[in-house]
Amino acid sequence: MTVNDVAEFLSKPRSWVYDNWKREEIPFRRVGQSLRCRPRDLEKWLDQQN
């Protein structure tokens, strides 16, 4: 998933995702200069949030 996909999935602005992905520990990986996230990793991360 791209940053746009994750933002849409979380119902957050794209800027929020960029500003908070490290602090919130969203499971992104760098692919070249892009951030990508596997859907199953994002769902697992979301299940772990309170």
Residues near 17 by beta carbon (within 8 Å), at least 6 away in sequence: 3, 6, 7, 10, 26
Total domain count, the chain? 1
Q: What is the pLDDT of residue 17?
A: 96
Give the residue numbers spanning the domain of 33: 3-48
Please write the tens of the pLDDT for every residue from 1-36: 999 999 999 999 999 999 999 999 999 999 999 999
For 25, 26, 35, 50, the CA distances from 42, given in Å and listed in that order, are 10, 7, 13, 14
